[in-house]
């Protein structure tokens, strides 16, 4: 019998994948992550705000919050390797031991773990909740952890025509031996490179500058994450907005703006970023 999709045993090995990012992580990538957070939130810093990083992965976003002046930081992840990744990141960037930054292993969809998590002014979960095996439950728990007047900053995969097919691909990946997984990642990377060439872009430049122009991520680490990232769920912007509004949130920003256009999802489903604020009365 296969384990529940909520359990770590059914998941893609995100921790091992993000370990490679930690090895590559340099200051420009951290600065890129800081810009991404500030630009989307419309702020120049996080001073005076507590920051909860749900599904912290490599710890890059938590490190960005540290440099942006967050008053306290809590990084939580179901994968013990990601807990080690965050500790390595802290050491690599010489974060003082007395810094109010807690790191621990736990699951946002585990009632026991969820109840132990602190409330925060900013609850951040970028590209994580759709990999928990219970996306709506995970999102509901995140909404409960936001302080009144605070913010929920999340990214979720969007619905697309080929999203069900991608789910099968990812599930297949997690059950295959290493050499098959490598072939799958290589094939997808090759398709992306060919696509860039056909558009007249220099793929080597795209790969080299990937971390500088995005959230500080690594191109091939992201490719591997995309092909293998299972469990996998997705939602329309309308579904997510309605879900958040029912829980007392006002949508501050969504990117890209929903336009109702058909999305094939041949390179992946795409995603929506949401910034929502919890009303004071909740």
pLDDT at 221 over 90: no
Q: Based on the number of CB atoms within 10 Å of its own CB, is 246 exposed (0-12), middle (13-18) or buried (19 or more)?
A: exposed
Query: Where do the structural domains in the chain lie, given as residue ranges?
Result: 8-160+230-278
Tokens 């810093």 belong to 45
The pLDDT, as a whole number, for residue 215 is 60
Look up the pTM and report it.
0.91
Q: Dump pLDDT digits (tens) for 106-122.
A: 999 999 999 999 999 99
Q: DSSP per residue over 175-240, as a string?
A: TS-HHHHHHHHHHHHHHHHHHHHHTT--HHHHHHTHHHHTTS--HHHHHHHHHH--S---B-HHHH
**Which segment of 25-34, 82-91, 248-257 scores lowest on mean pLDDT?**
25-34
- The answer regarding whether domain 8-160+230-278 maps to CATH 3.40.50.150 reads yes
- Report the half-sphere exposure of 25 (CA within 13 A, side-chain side): 27
pLDDT at 53 over 50: yes
CA distance 12 to 176: 11
Average pLDDT over residues 165-180: 94
Q: Dump pLDDT digits (tens) for 70-99.
A: 999 999 999 999 999 999 999 999 999 999
**Which segment of 46-50, 147-151, 264-268 scores lowest on mean pLDDT?**
264-268
How many other CB atoms are found less than 10 A from the CB of residue 266?
Answer: 13
Q: Dump pLDDT digits (tens) for 3-25.
A: 688 998 889 999 999 898 898 89
The pLDDT, as a whole number, for residue 1 is 44
Helix (H) or strand (E) holding 15, with range, is helix 14-24
pLDDT at 282 over 50: no
- Split at pLDDT 50, 70, 90, the class of 166 is very high
């Amino acid at each position: 019998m296969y384990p529940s999709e909520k359990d770590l045993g059914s998941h893609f090995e995100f921790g091992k994948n993000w370990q490679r990012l930690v090895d590559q992580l340099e200051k420009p990538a951290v600065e890129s992550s800081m810009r991404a957070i500030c630009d989307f939130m419309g702020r120049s810093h996080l001073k005076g705000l507590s920051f909860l990083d749900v599904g912290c992965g490599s710890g890059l976003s938590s490190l960005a919050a540290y440099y942006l002046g967050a008053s306290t930081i809590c990084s939580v992840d179901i994968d013990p390797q990601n807990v080690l990744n965050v500790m390595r990141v802290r050491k690599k960037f010489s974060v003082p031991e007395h810094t109010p930054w807690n790191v621990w292993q736990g699951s946002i969809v585990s009632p026991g773990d969820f109840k132990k998590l602190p409330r925060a002014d900013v609850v951040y979960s970028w590209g994580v909740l759709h990999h928990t095996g219970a996306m709506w439950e995970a999102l509901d728990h995140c909404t409960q952890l936001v302080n009144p007047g605070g913010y929920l900053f999340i990214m979720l995969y969007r619905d697309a025509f080929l999203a069900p097919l991608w789910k099968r691909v990812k599930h297949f990946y997690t059950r295959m031996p290493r050499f098959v997984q490598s072939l799958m990642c290589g094939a997808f990377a090759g398709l992306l490179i060919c696509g860039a060439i056909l558009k007249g872009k220099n793929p080597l430049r795209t790969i080299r500058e990937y971390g500088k122009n995005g959230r500080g991520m690594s191109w091939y680490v992201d490719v591997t994450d995309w092909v293998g990232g299972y469990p996998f769920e997705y939602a329309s912007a309308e579904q997510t907005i309605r879900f958040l509004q029912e829980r007392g949130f006002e949508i501050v920003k969504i990117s890209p703006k929903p336009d109702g256009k058909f999305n094939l999802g041949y390179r992946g489903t795409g995603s929506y970023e949401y910034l929502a604020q919890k009303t004071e009365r909740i």
